[in-house]
Amino acid sequence: MKNRVLYLALAGVVLFAVLQRRASHAAGVPSVSPGGVVNAASFSQQGMPNASISQGSLFVIFGQNLGPTTLQGAVLPLPTTLGGASVRLTVGTTSVDALLVYTSSTQVAAVLPSKTPLGSAALTVTYNGQTSSSSAVQVASSGFGVFTRDQKGDGPAIVQNF
């Protein structure tokens, strides 16, 4: 009888673990694609010229389960949480929350606060309480990126003077 109770208890623990794993997979832990953090204008990959994310600049994150399935856009003032998603960068002991422009399940656009310290940063995306693994990003004081008409980084440039 004791063995049967022990067996049922063990089976319950295994079943609970399996269901919990399925639930976390179904909920979709955010995942940033390799090389998925880029300057919004140039889309330069890490290791390429001007691939750093500049203080005060617009950048894009590509991945899976980054936000809601339906694109959600922000209104001014830009929030640090949008549609249950947020982006945090940590440089050394300083963490800053990015200002979100839009968020969806596969893409997030954000503005890096000007107060972000320079250097190597760890970026994470949190969606509905689940946080991605960190992605390495280089924060720079400035960088060059040009928006283009075809949105691929080549062709006629888009220039605006605000």
Q: What is the pLDDT of residues 42-92, one digit of tens each?
A: 887 777 777 899 999 999 999 999 999 999 999 999 999 999 999 999 999
Q: How far apart are CA 32 and CA 152, in angstroms?
A: 20
**Residue 36 pLDDT greater than 60, yes or no:** yes
> Which among 6-10, 19-23, 82-86, 144-148 has the top mean pLDDT?
82-86
**Residue 29 pLDDT greater than 90, yes or no:** yes
Choose the weakest-confidence range: 17-26, 78-87, 146-155: 17-26
pLDDT at 153: 63
Q: Give the DSSP letter of residue 82.
A: B
Q: How far apart are CA 41 and CA 65, in angstroms?
A: 23
- Confidence label for 23 from pLDDT (cuts 50, 70 and 90): very low
Q: Give the DSSP letter of residue 92.
A: T
**Residue 19 pLDDT greater than 50, yes or no:** no
- Backbone dihedral angles phi then psi of residue 101, each to the nearest 5 degrees: -100, -45
Q: Tally Cβ neighbours within 10 Å of residue 137.
A: 25
Mean pLDDT across 113-139: 97
Q: How far apart are CA 162 and CA 59, in angstroms?
A: 19
Q: How far apart are CA 122 and CA 110, in angstroms?
A: 15
CB 46 within 8 A of CB 138: yes
